[in-house]
């Protein structure tokens, strides 16, 4: 069965390259027993791909169970997935089989797997690694042969960094990744989907289908669609019900597109990761403050040398005054960021000194200062990265990355 036949079989609309690629990967991985992780924003249609995988696998004649992990309360999720023994908790009046027991030799689709509590993630990891699980309230190990396909709309790598998702479970689930692109990156599919939804709605309700003018089609494709296919379907049905005219122009369709403006809307912007940005900014501030302190200490030292050894250095009265004034001047914080500041000062100083030149060399490289601070923090805590990261005001993961980046031993 080729990609076109698969689309017809599962009601998939669209011709974008990314969609075709996702379908092809699902078909290729289906005959294996590898676990699959499907990622994509909410409303992109992730739920159809586990069905494709199950249909083309050797398990297709056995059970297929879809579980929405985000819809099950934390207190009962273990019981739902793995079952429980009678009397294992309040309300457990009889023994119950879980999904992993019921779906033995079949496929389980874990939708919104990123919402699983950490305790359940440990149980799921054991199923993936050894094919074993225990019911709630039981000490008996049971075997299961289940193919797991998971999906999530959260950033799993960020969830790992925040301690909300186990890294080892992520790698187990992500044996084969399938990425479903958001609708704003599949603009050629938008009108095809809209037309399909409008036609289906009109057929169900026995009314003429709405049609779009060229400017309406353009506005439809320019919109960012934060709700993806689900939002597009809702709007197609709203227009079909509310509008009396069956030909919809651009001005009319704008009323149904929230936060629409006249210019072409860009792709949805998620913004900078504030936590990472804050950590990087803090270390830069610390470096700049240390640099300022070093410069002030250096100016004081040179000023003391001038005061005690004035007679030993061959300065004219004018040059001695200029030299001393340069090192006594406080740093003007309004111009300290001017990259020419030190060059201007140095040129002023060098033009007034006749017989003696003093060369002050100090590395102003932020990278060198960053390496120096990291080494100091590691030395202070005997190489313990957790404490060193806390001292530097950055995350342990960021510290580890910088140690590798700078090749710090």
Residue 242 has pLDDT above 90, yes or no: yes
Question: Tell me: the pLDDT tens digits for 163-198?
Answer: 999 999 999 999 999 999 999 999 999 999 999 999
* Contact criterion met (CB below 8 Å) for 262 and 215: no
* Contact criterion met (CB below 8 Å) for 351 and 317: no
Reported as a pLDDT band with limits 50, 70 and 90, residue 394 is: confident
- Predicted local distance difference test score (pLDDT) of residue 238: 94
Distance of alpha carbon 234 from the chain centroid = 27
- Predicted local distance difference test score (pLDDT) of residue 290: 76
3-state helix, strand, coil in the chain (%, to 5): 55, 10, 40
Q: In terms of DSSP bridges, do strands 211-212 and 247-248 run parallel, antiparallel, or are they unpaired?
A: parallel
- Predicted local distance difference test score (pLDDT) of residue 336: 44
- Predicted local distance difference test score (pLDDT) of residue 229: 94
Residue 350 has pLDDT above 50, yes or no: no
Residue 139 has pLDDT above 70, yes or no: yes
Reported as a pLDDT band with limits 50, 70 and 90, residue 329 is: low
Alpha helices of 98-213 — where are they, by DSSP H?
99-102, 118-130, 156-161, 167-173, 190-205
Helix (H, G, I), strand (E, B) or coil at 248: strand
- Predicted local distance difference test score (pLDDT) of residue 258: 85
Mean pLDDT value across residues 358-362: 49
- Predicted local distance difference test score (pLDDT) of residue 170: 95
Nearest to 184 by CA among 227, 239, 137: 227
Reported as a pLDDT band with limits 50, 70 and 90, residue 368 is: confident
Residue 213 has pLDDT above 80, yes or no: yes
CB neighbour list of residue 263: distance below 8 Å, 6 or more residues apart: none
- Predicted local distance difference test score (pLDDT) of residue 261: 46
DSSP state of 269: P
List the domain boundaries for the chain.
Answer: 3-181, 184-254, 274-352, 366-406
Higher pLDDT, 336 or 164: 164
Choose the weakest-confidence range: 93-107, 241-255, 317-331, 357-371.
317-331
CATH of domain 184-254: 1.10.8.60
The phi, psi pair for 39, rounded to 5°, reads -120, 145
Average pLDDT, the chain: 82
Mean pLDDT value across residues 141-165: 94
Question: Tell me: the pLDDT tens digits for 122-135?
Answer: 999 999 999 999 99
The whole-angstrom separation of Cα 264 and Cα 54 is: 40
Reported as a pLDDT band with limits 50, 70 and 90, residue 334 is: very low
- Predicted local distance difference test score (pLDDT) of residue 344: 47
Mean pLDDT value across residues 354-364: 49
The whole-angstrom separation of Cα 84 and Cα 175 is: 29
Residue 57 has pLDDT above 80, yes or no: yes
Alpha carbon separation from 86 to 79, 91, 160, 288 (Å, rounded)? 11, 9, 35, 64
- Predicted local distance difference test score (pLDDT) of residue 1: 78
- Predicted local distance difference test score (pLDDT) of residue 75: 85
- Predicted local distance difference test score (pLDDT) of residue 355: 46
- Select the CATH number that applies to the domain covering 3-181 from these four: 3.30.1340.30, 3.30.70.20, 3.40.1000.10, 3.40.50.300: 3.40.50.300
CB neighbour list of residue 269: distance below 8 Å, 6 or more residues apart: none
* Contact criterion met (CB below 8 Å) for 378 and 408: yes
Alpha carbon separation from 393 to 42, 374, 383, 408 (Å, rounded)? 34, 11, 16, 18
Helix (H) or strand (E) holding 83: none
Higher pLDDT, 222 or 364: 222
Fold designation for 366-406: Arc Repressor Mutant, subunit A (1.10.10)
Residue 71 has pLDDT above 60, yes or no: yes
DSSP state of 313: S
Question: Tell me: the pLDDT tens digits for 245-300?
Answer: 999 999 999 999 987 544 444 444 445 455 555 556 667 767 777 777 777 777 77
Higher pLDDT, 264 or 384: 384
Higher pLDDT, 317 or 59: 59
- Half-sphere exposure (Cβ direction) of 388: Cα atoms closer than 13 Å: 23
The whole-angstrom separation of Cα 31 and Cα 243 is: 48
- Predicted local distance difference test score (pLDDT) of residue 269: 45
Choose the weakest-confidence range: 55-69, 145-159, 217-231, 359-373.
359-373
Reported as a pLDDT band with limits 50, 70 and 90, residue 369 is: confident
The phi, psi pair for 110, rounded to 5°, reads -100, 95
* Contact criterion met (CB below 8 Å) for 355 and 314: yes
- Predicted local distance difference test score (pLDDT) of residue 45: 92
The whole-angstrom separation of Cα 252 and Cα 316 is: 83
């Amino acid at each position: 069965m080729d990609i076109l036949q698969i689309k017809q079989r599962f009601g998939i609309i669209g011709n974008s390259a990314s969609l075709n690629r996702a379908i092809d990967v699902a078909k290729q991985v289906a005959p294996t027993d590898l676990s699959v992780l499907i990622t994509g924003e909410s409303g992109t249609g992730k739920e159809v791909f586990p069905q494709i995988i199950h249909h083309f696998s050797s398990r297709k004649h056995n059970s297929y169970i879809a579980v929405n992990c985000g819809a099950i309360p934390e207190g009962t999720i273990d019981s739902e997935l793995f079952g429980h023994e009678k009397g294992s908790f309040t309300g457990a009046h009889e023994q119950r089989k879980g999904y992993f027991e019921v779906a033995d030799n079949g496929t389980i689709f874990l939708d919104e797997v990123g919402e699983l509590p950490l305790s359940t993630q440990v149980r799921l990891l054991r199923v993936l690694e050894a094919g074993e699980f225990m019911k709630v309230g039981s000490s008996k190990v049971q075997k299961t042969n289940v193919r797991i396909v998971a999906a999530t709309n959260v950033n799993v790598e960020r969830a790992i960094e925040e301690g909300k998702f186990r890294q080892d479970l992520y790698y187990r689930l992500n044996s084969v990744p399938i990425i479903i692109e958001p609708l704003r990156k599949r603009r050629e599919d938008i009108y095809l989907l809209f037309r399909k939804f409008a036609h289906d709605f009109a057929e169900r309700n026995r009314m003429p289908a709405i049609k779009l003018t060229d400017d309406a089609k353009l506005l439809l494709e320019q919109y960012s669609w934060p709700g993806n296919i689900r939002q597009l379907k809702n709007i197609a049905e709203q227009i079909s019900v509310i509008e009396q005219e069956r030909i919809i122009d651009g001005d009319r369709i704008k009323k149904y597109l929230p936060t629409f403006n006249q210019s072409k809307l860009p792709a949805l912007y998620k913004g900078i990761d504030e936590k990472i940005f804050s950590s990087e900014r803090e270390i830069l501030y610390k470096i700049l403050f240390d640099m300022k302190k070093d410069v002030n200490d250096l100016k004081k030292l040179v000023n003391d040398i001038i005061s005690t050894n004035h007679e030993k250095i061959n300065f004219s009265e004018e040059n001695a005054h200029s030299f001393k004034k340069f090192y006594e001047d406080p740093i003007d914080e309004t111009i300290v960021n001017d990259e020419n500041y030190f060059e201007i000062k140095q040129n002023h100083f060098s033009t007034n000194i006749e017989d003696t030149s003093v060369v002050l060399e100090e590395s102003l490289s932020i990278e060198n200062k960053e390496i120096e601070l990291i080494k100091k923090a590691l030395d202070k805590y005997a190489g313990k990265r957790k404490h060193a990261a806390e001292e530097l005001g950055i995350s342990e993961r960021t510290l580890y990355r910088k140690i590798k980046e700078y090749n710090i031993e």
